Amino acid sequence: MKINMIKQALNEFEIFPKVSLLNKKITYTCRGLGIETAFNNNAEYIIRIIPQEEIATAKTLCIGDENCYEEITAFTDDKGILKFECTLKKEQIYTFRLLKKEKNENKFIVNFRVFGAKEDLWQRIPMRGNTHCHACHSVDGHEDPFVVSSIYRKAGFDYLAITDHHKVDGSVYAIKEAEKIPTEMALYYGEEVHVPNAYIHNVNVGALLDGEMGLDKYYHLHEKEINEEVENTVKEYENKLPEEIEPYDFAWRKWICDTIHKNGGVAILAHPGWLYDAHNTRDSMFRYAAKTGLYDAVEVMMGQEPNSSESNMQIAFWNDLRAEGINITPVGCDDAHRRYYKWDYESCFNGVFTIIFSKTPEFEGFKEAIKGGYSVAVDNYDGAPDHVVGTYRLTKFAIFLLAEYFPIHDELCFEEGRLMKEAYLGDGEAIKLLSFINGRVKRFTDKFFGK
């Protein structure tokens, strides 16, 4: 379906729910939005059901024979509201082609799009977020951590982990400030870990050690014993590692990932294809880490270099790993150090993000989704069409949501993000307004999924 037709359907008509549980009779409700597109009262309409992955004209070997598709007849009520029942049987996007029943020829009205989902997907919440960005606690970062959070919310983000270099402090600060302000945005602890020095880049999401410290600080407080632990790991794996794996490279990564996991967090391999003289992570280590489950996820898309060979290489490598039967959850991040709406070296803000499909917005829901592989990476630089990387199943769902769910979702988030910043800066009226609108995104999501 052409993009302009999808936008027309979204802005001039509505249908709910838009995501339905398979093999269950669902009542759909639709209407025109405004007097120009309003349906006639007490009038007869036809709904033609077109499964996107099951072209019925294959039976007749011709194009345009729409008579092969299932049709439903329904009548509007005296307010022009149309309701009909339908049972979807296969997970995919469906077009509901609405036609007005007339004497000589049925008149085309609009193409609605809905998604039929299996229960494991239907019960999950689509959440747009970022697991790698920087604020002023990074030596090369900018902006107050909570202001950063409000800017991401204004752009339609549901969750955020601020991951300052060597420090968890920025994320801790933002989370504490969020406790004072009514918001539906989920903030997670985060840190970009560089121990023993900066040659390893790991993202920690969710792990907070005793004393509200991150891994870098903990390492420098216990440097001697941790160095000994790493030396012991090198000895233990001396004859177990593949020839192309550097023992210390593996041993330090293992200590970092193990420490993140012991403290309840998620370990993400950061931008393995980033070029700094050479790739940030050796291809052999990328493969070995994915194969052995050292990390929970890998950044297949990243900011800093829009449409770059670096992300392309990471995506290609990830696809090759899947072809070898090696699966690691994909994520995308903008790695922004400053928030501007136009890309430059310091800020590729909102150019790359991750959509997770989570049972709850809390961190445990995020963690379960990442560990279960329920995520896709997305980039949309400079208004280009969304580019989604993930499994076929989740990619087609994400493409549907990016067109049908997130435009309205993002409008709701925009005002919340603006008010978050004002409330944080001392505007008492903003606090009252946030309290009043709190829950709007959840209510829309429930309506979208028919819950």
Ordered domains of the chain (ranges, CATH)? 3-119 (2.60.40.1930), 125-432 (3.20.20.140)
Task: Give residue-wise pLDDT tens across range 381-399.
Answer: 776 789 999 999 999 999 9
Q: Name which of 312, 318, 310 is nearest 289 in CA terms.
A: 318
Residue 233: per-residue pLDDT:
97
**Percent with pLDDT over 90 in the chain:** 82
Q: Within 10 A of 69 (CB to CB), how many other CB atoms are there?
A: 16
pLDDT bracket for residue 61 (50, 70, 90): low
- pLDDT greater than 60 at residue 343: no
Residue 103: per-residue pLDDT:
83
* Mean pLDDT (whole number) for 31-60: 90
Q: Name which of 201, 204, 202 is nearest 191 in CA terms.
A: 204
Q: How far is CA 132 from CA 189, 203, 297, 335, 371, in A?
A: 11, 7, 12, 5, 17
* Mean pLDDT (whole number) for 224-252: 96
* pTM attached to this predicted model: 0.95
Task: Give residue-wise pLDDT tens across range 92-139.
Answer: 999 999 999 888 889 999 999 999 999 999 999 999 999 999 999 998
- pLDDT greater than 80 at residue 60: no
Task: Give residue-wise pLDDT tens across range 263-317.
Answer: 999 999 999 998 888 889 999 999 999 999 999 999 999 886 655 788 999 999 9
Residues 6+ apart with CB under 8 A from 265: 189, 204, 205, 206, 207, 208, 367
Alpha carbons 29 and 174: distance in angstroms, whole number: 41
- pLDDT greater than 70 at residue 3: no
- pLDDT greater than 70 at residue 47: yes
- pLDDT greater than 60 at residue 215: yes
Task: Give residue-wise pLDDT tens across range 167-206.
Answer: 999 999 999 999 999 999 999 999 999 998 778 999 999 9
